């Protein structure tokens, strides 16, 4: 069976000069992190394919999580509160996220009270997002510690765009400690949005 490489898929995706621009020109502070994953140009970003997609309309079954694995799950916030360390008073946010049946603790550590307050305000009950982190156990309960989280309702987008994107599948890319899937998606958008149709070659013959 012919593969995408056999039919020249990688070679045909975007042959325009617009895609030859270095990633650093789009995301100056993240250029080295992208290069470490093999992405040096805008075209490389478009050819860096997701390993899978998360469906924002379907919650992840929490009972299937395995301790020690790094996971990306779709879940809803049930509650979020600020607690403080006994030793130094440093704040942390403890959130309960749910698949509709079971709950999982997500703990976020921070040294700043205003950051913790902002996080709690953003984690209102019923808000749905993608949480990425390593599953561990604390006091006989599974939890995610400092998970990356990406809201499906798009606080940073316009209301109309947020409503549109809330139903889109979310691409999950192979990532690194320095560059998570959320940042890769953001830069891919910065690459794609300015392009004109005539600057891209259709990869499907």
pLDDT of residue 12: 45
State phi, psi for 116 to the nearest 5 degrees: -60, -40
Number of domains in the chain: 2
Residue 44 and residue 100 share a domain:
no
CB 26 within 8 A of CB 187: yes
Q: Spell out the residues 6+ positions from residue 158 whose beta carbon is closer than 8 angstroms to its own.
A: none
* Burial of 136 per CB tally in 10 Å (0-12, 13-18, 19+): middle
pLDDT of residue 3: 40
Residue 122: CB atoms within 10 A of its CB come to 15
Per residue of the chain (205 residues), what is the pLDDT tens digit? 444 333 333 444 444 577 888 988 888 888 899 999 999 998 899 889 998 887 777 788 898 899 998 888 889 999 999 999 888 889 999 999 999 999 999 999 998 999 999 999 999 999 988 888 889 999 889 999 999 888 877 544 444 555 555 567 888 888 887 888 888 888 888 888 887 776 666 666 5
How far is the C-alpha of 140 from the C-alpha of 14, rounded, in Å?
51
Residue 62 and residue 43 share a domain:
no
Q: What are 31's two structure tokens?
A: 């250029």
Residue 96 and residue 185 share a domain:
no
CB 192 within 8 A of CB 201: no
pLDDT of residue 99: 92
Residue 124: CB atoms within 10 A of its CB come to 10
CB 180 within 8 A of CB 170: no
Residue 97 and residue 180 share a domain:
no
Question: In the beta sheet, which residues pair with residue 106?
Answer: 95, 144
Q: Count H helices, E strands: the chain? A: 7, 8
Residue 183 and residue 101 share a domain:
no
Name the residue range of residue 182's domain.
9-51+173-199
Q: Is 1 a member of any domain?
A: no
Q: Spell out the residues 6+ positions from residue 57 whose beta carbon is closer than 8 angstroms to its own.
A: 167
Q: Is 4 a member of any domain?
A: no
Q: Is 181 a member of any domain?
A: yes
How far is the C-alpha of 109 from the C-alpha of 13, rounded, in Å?
42
pLDDT of residue 71: 85
pLDDT digits (tens, 9 = 90+) for 23-36: 888 888 888 999 99
Residue 132 and residue 71 share a domain:
yes
């Amino acid at each position: 069976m012919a593969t995408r490489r056999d039919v020249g898929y990688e070679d045909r995706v975007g042959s325009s000069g617009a895609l030859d621009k270095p990633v650093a020109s789009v995301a100056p502070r993240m250029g080295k992190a992208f290069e470490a994953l093999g992405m040096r140009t805008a075209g490389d970003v478009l050819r860096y394919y997701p390993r899978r997609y998360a469906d924002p309309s379907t919650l992840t079954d929490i009972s299937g999580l395995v301790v020690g694995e790094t996971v990306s799950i779709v879940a809803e916030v049930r509650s979020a509160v600020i607690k403080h360390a006994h030793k130094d008073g440093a704040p942390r946010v403890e959130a309960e996220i749910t698949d509709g049946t079971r709950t999982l603790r997500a703990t976020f550590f921070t040294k700043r009270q205003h950051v913790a307050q902002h996080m709690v305000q953003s984690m209102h009950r019923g808000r749905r997002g993608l949480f990425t982190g390593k599953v561990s156990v604390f006091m006989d309960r599974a939890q995610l510690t400092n998970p990356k989280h990406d809201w499906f309702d798009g606080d940073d987008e316009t209301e109309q765009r947020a409503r549109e994107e809330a139903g889109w599948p979310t691409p999950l890319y192979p990532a690194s400690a320095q560059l998570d899937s959320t940042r890769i998606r953001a830069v891919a958008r910065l690459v794609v949005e300015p392009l004109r149709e005539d600057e891209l070659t259709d990869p499907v013959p």
